[in-house]
């Protein structure tokens, strides 16, 4: 397998696909690390711009750069470009132990210990510990080659402690590296922060930029999730035009997917009008042969009708959907809605003033958690690839990378059942009051 990848790599170099390597395709061992790093950057930028086939090449390049850095003579790092290459490699999914290895062997002071310490904490999943020190050093690297990467790292590390500062760091990252994987990540994470920080104007502005540039990114599905969260939280007459403008950059399948996700989230949140509207729009974007999306639209519109006067028709409609047409997540959601409806409709027990009994529902499991939010399994947004890292990368760093790219959690049962139980509590209070009279 490795031999085949190497052959493909050398062939790509020969026709000039990977700039900077063609002249040295037969002798990678002697190539300057910064030249190899350029090719890695080219590959990673190509991936977020839609060339998903480059993922295998990315893995190969990470391994090749790791080998070159570890075998390089200390004098190689007298060139600042090679030092920067080592830092960028570590921040681009490379082996963090390699950076520590190089820093320990550095007797000439080529590696800035402040940056080494900051990245060591960050890559070990302890980003909050490095924020203060990196903030003091970042001004010196504002216009350096590693500047955009450091700003992205600093934004990630400060996101929980200081979201406003994190947004500023993301702004610097994307403005100093336009059209790259750095801008893609900074935009996507800025949308999430703006949503959580109740800054809809920023959120919609960043969403528009993302939709114009990175809809073919393998992480676009995560963008769709945070955009749906933003749209649902701020839906109204003032934001309808902004949502339509952003959706205008998507083809019909992607628009339909976004509306399905909006319908699902709105149904869970008890936003009946929005859930119905989004379901209708998803149906209007479905062709006759699109049975899956139509089924989901019917499910979500039916869920929206559970708290209404048409509860019987709603339950009848969602119960008629075959299990085979729903994902495990959506089957669990339908089950939760059915339980809530049955509890609401159940006649009071004459021996008790309370109706709040333990629902007959299985606890939520992790089954299906890796599926798209709609549970359709047919999302037109590409699924994010696994982190392309070398085999020697530590387990902690793999967890840190996965956590940084994780989608928002699915609130399937907890949110829906919580809403249903609160309604039952209100009914119980009214019944108790009537009895006391």
pLDDT, position 176: 94
pLDDT, position 360: 47
Asked whether the whole model's pTM tops 0.75, one would answer no
As a whole number of angstroms, the distance between CA 425 and CA 128 comes to: 41
* DSSP per-residue codes, 117-159: HHHHHHHTT-GGGTHHHHHHHGGGGTTSTTHHHHHHHHHHHHT
Instruction: List the structure tokens of 352.
Output: 């008790």
pLDDT, position 287: 73
Q: In terms of Cα–Cα distance, which of 59, 51, 18 is closest to 217?
A: 51
Q: What does the buried/exposed string (b/e) look like for 373-392 if buried means 16 or more CB atoms within 10 Å of the residue's CB?
A: bbbbeebbbeebeebbbbee
- HSE of 72 in the Cβ direction (CA atoms, 13 Å)? 31
pLDDT, position 178: 95
- HSE of 284 in the Cβ direction (CA atoms, 13 Å)? 8
Region class of 368: left (phi > 0), else alpha (psi between -120 and 50), else beta: left
As a whole number of angstroms, the distance between CA 128 and CA 121 comes to: 8
Encode the chain (437 residues) as per-residue pLDDT tens digits. 444 444 444 434 433 445 444 444 445 677 999 999 999 999 999 999 999 889 899 999 999 999 999 999 999 999 999 999 999 999 999 999 999 999 999 999 999 999 999 999 999 988 888 999 999 999 999 999 999 999 999 999 999 999 999 999 999 999 999 999 999 999 999 999 999 999 999 999 999 999 999 999 999 999 999 999 999 999 888 888 999 999 999 999 999 999 988 988 887 777 878 888 888 888 888 775 565 665 666 666 656 555 554 555 555 555 556 555 566 666 665 665 565 555 544 555 555 444 444 444 444 443 444 444 554 445 777 666 554 443 334 333 434 433 444 434 444 445 544 555 555 555 455 545 544 55
As a whole number of angstroms, the distance between CA 63 and CA 383 comes to: 23
Q: Do 61 and 40 form a contact (C-beta atoms < 8 A)?
A: yes
pLDDT, position 351: 53
Contacts of 347 (CB under 8 A, 6+ apart): none
Instruction: List the structure tokens of 98.
Output: 């390699």
pLDDT, position 21: 47
């Amino acid at each position: 397998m490795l031999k085949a990848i190497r052959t493909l790599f050398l062939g790509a170099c020969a026709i000039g696909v990977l700039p900077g390597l063609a002249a040295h395709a037969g002798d990678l061992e002697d190539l300057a690390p910064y030249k190899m790093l350029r090719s890695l950057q080219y590959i990673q930028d190509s991936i977020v711009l839609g060339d998903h086939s480059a993922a295998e090449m990315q893995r190969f390049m990470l391994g090749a750069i790791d080998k070159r850095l570890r075998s390089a003579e200390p004098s190689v790092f007298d060139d600042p470009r090679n030092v920067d290459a080592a830092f960028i490699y570590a921040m681009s999914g490379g082996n963090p132990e390699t950076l520590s290895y190089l820093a320990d062997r550095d007797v000439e002071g080529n590696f800035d210990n402040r940056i080494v310490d900051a990245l060591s904490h960050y890559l070990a999943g302890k980003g909050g510990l490095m924020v203060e020190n990196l903030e003091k050093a970042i001004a010196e690297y504002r216009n350096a080659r590693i500047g955009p990467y450091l700003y992205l790292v600093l934004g990630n590390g400060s996101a929980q402690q200081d979201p406003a500062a994190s947004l500023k760091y993301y702004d610097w990252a994307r403005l100093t590296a336009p059209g790259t994987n750095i801008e893609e990540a900074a935009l996507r994470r800025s949308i999430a922060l703006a949503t959580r920080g109740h800054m809809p104007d920023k959120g919609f502005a960043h969403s528009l930029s993302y939709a114009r540039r990175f809809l073919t990114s393998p992480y676009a599905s995560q963008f769709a999730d945070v955009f749906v969260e933003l749209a649902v939280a701020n839906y109204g007459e003032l934001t309808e035009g902004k949502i339509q403008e952003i959706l205008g950059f998507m083809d019909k399948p992607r628009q339909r997917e976004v509306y399905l996700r909006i319908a699902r989230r709105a149904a869970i949140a008890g936003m009946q009008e929005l859930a119905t509207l989004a379901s209708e729009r998803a149906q209007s974007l479905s062709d006759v042969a699109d049975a899956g999306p139509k089924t989901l639209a019917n499910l979500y519109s039916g869920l929206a009708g559970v708290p209404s006067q048409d509860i019987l028709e709603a339950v009848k409609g969602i119960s008629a959907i075959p299990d085979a047409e729903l994902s495990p997540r959506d089957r669990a959601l339908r089950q939760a809605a059915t339980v809530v409806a049955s509890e609401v409709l159940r006649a009071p027990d004459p021996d008790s003033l309370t109706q709040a009994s333990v629902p007959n529902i299985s606890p939520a499991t992790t089954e299906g958690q890796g599926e798209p939010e709609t549970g359709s399994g047919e999302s037109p947004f590409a699924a994010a690839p696994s982190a392309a890292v070398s085999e020697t990368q530590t387990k902690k760093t793999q967890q840190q990378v996965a956590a940084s790219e994780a989608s928002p959690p699915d609130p399937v049962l907890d949110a829906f059942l919580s809403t249903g139980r609160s309604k039952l509590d209100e009914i119980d209070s009214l019944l108790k009051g009537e009895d006391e009279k």
